[in-house]
Amino acid sequence: MDEQRALVVTTDFFTPVVDDPFDYGAIAAANSLSDIYAMGGEPFLALNIAAFPPQLPAEIAAEILRGGAEKAREAGVVIAGGHTIQDKEPKYGLVAIGYARTDQFLTKKGVEPGDILYLSKPIGGGVITSAIKTDRIRDEEVGETLGWMKRLNRDAAALAISSGARAATDITGFSLLGHAWEMASASGVGLRFLFEAIPLFPNAARLAAEWCFPGGSFDNAEFFGPRVVFAPELTQDIQLLLFDPQTSGGLLFAVSPEQARRCEQEAREKSIPVWRVGEATSTGVIEVV
């Protein structure tokens, strides 16, 4: 826009990942806004993108849109209309527009060896939503996961910026390791993750052991797997869990070692959930130890 401001424009939409229409709309909106936060931006305007079957009851469509509107309001975003078409399966999301300061712009490029890696949400959402669709998990067991999926990445982005983050990305369909590889590749570095430090959703490890994975997990493993070195003691189901595609996942961001303590102190003081999950290396590969 000028020397101080950049415009960030993004879009995302998908089919239902949960049964409740309000939750679906809220998750889709949070997911759509996440790309703005991942680039250090602040969203201010959005448009609905929706596809609804003709036979879908009007009250269900209304709840989907209400879920998106409530989440947008929480983010300080105005939804200024949008567009809807008919389709066999519901689809919903947003076009999102935000501003970012050019001196705080975050991209996937810029990680340096020795940087500390932080993650702002647990992983395992793909196996949880797969379990919901196949009735392999009870409603009362997914509440915490849904809460995380509806959570905005706004606070995590603000923490990354105030900590002088060198790079960031949001963890979505390409999984933790897939998006980590994007950062590593763009920056010309390697990344080392400590598995025990990676937060998992409740029941995610159990469902992984039962091989309750969405198809995207196998696609991610096939494409990104050759770029990852796992510790021998990590079983195949655990490895595949790290390739689990996320919906409205957290931010992964890199902070210099000098700023790491300040980042963690601010997170504690402001009750911003982040986990220190690894560090950048000069090896050029992704390692999970």
Look at residue 71 and tell me whether its pLDDT is greater than 90. yes
Look at residue 139 and tell me whether its pLDDT is greater than 90. no
Q: Mean pLDDT across the chain, nearest whole number?
A: 96
Residue 167 · residue 267 · CB < 8 Å: no
Amino acid at 13: F
109 falls within a domain: no
Q: Examine the domain organization and report whether 241 and 123 are in the same domain.
A: yes
Query: Which strand (E) or helix (H) includes residue 222?
Result: helix 215-224
Look at residue 76 and tell me whether its pLDDT is greater than 90. yes
Q: How confident is the model at residue 140 (pLDDT cuts 50, 70, 90)?
A: confident
Give the domain CATH number at 36.
3.30.1330.10
Q: Given the DSSP bridges, would you call strands 78-86 and 42-52 parallel, antiparallel or unpaired?
A: parallel
Look at residue 208 and tell me whether its pLDDT is greater than 90. yes
Look at residue 189 and tell me whether its pLDDT is greater than 90. yes
DSSP tag of 17: S
Query: Which of 40, 72, 104 is a domain's end point?
Result: 104
Residue 246 · residue 173 · CB < 8 Å: yes
The CA distance from 209 to 258, in Å, is 39
52 falls within a domain: yes
Q: Examine the domain organization and report whether 95 and 124 are in the same domain.
A: no
The CA distance from 285 to 237, in Å, is 21
Q: Examine the domain organization and report whether 149 and 214 are in the same domain.
A: yes
Query: Which of 47, 75, 104 is a domain's end point?
Result: 104
Write out pLDDT tens, residues 144-188.
999 999 999 999 999 999 999 989 999 999 999 999 999 999 999
Residue 288 · residue 234 · CB < 8 Å: yes
DSSP tag of 115: P
110 falls within a domain: no
Q: How confident is the model at residue 91 (pLDDT cuts 50, 70, 90)?
A: very high
Q: Examine the domain organization and report whether 139 and 45 are in the same domain.
A: no
Closest CA relative to residue 40, chosen from 67, 11, 6:
6
Residue 181 makes CB contacts below 8 A (sequence gap 6+) with 224, 227, 228, 286
143 falls within a domain: yes
Q: Examine the domain organization and report whether 139 and 208 are in the same domain.
A: yes
Give the domain CATH number at 225.
3.90.650.10
Q: Examine the domain organization and report whether 79 and 199 are in the same domain.
A: no
269 bridge partner residues: none
Q: Which two tokens stand for residue 133?
A: 């669709």
Q: How confident is the model at residue 258 (pLDDT cuts 50, 70, 90)?
A: very high
Closest CA relative to residue 52, chosen from 16, 19, 20:
16
Number of domains present in the structure of the chain = 2
Q: How confident is the model at residue 47 (pLDDT cuts 50, 70, 90)?
A: very high
78 falls within a domain: yes
Q: Mean pLDDT throughout 241-267?
A: 97
Q: How confident is the model at residue 50 (pLDDT cuts 50, 70, 90)?
A: very high
Q: Examine the domain organization and report whether 278 and 257 are in the same domain.
A: yes
Q: Examine the domain organization and report whether 147 and 268 are in the same domain.
A: yes
Q: Examine the domain organization and report whether 196 and 230 are in the same domain.
A: yes
Query: Which of 72, 104, 136 is a domain's end point?
Result: 104
220 falls within a domain: yes
Q: Which of 25-29, 100-104, 159-163, 244-248 has the lowest mean pLDDT?
A: 100-104
111 falls within a domain: no
Q: Examine the domain organization and report whether 81 and 142 are in the same domain.
A: no
251 bridge partner residues: 170
- What is the structure's pLDDT at 166? 85
Q: Examine the domain organization and report whether 93 and 180 are in the same domain.
A: no
Which range marks the domain in which residue 60 is found?
Answer: 5-104
Q: Examine the domain organization and report whether 93 and 214 are in the same domain.
A: no
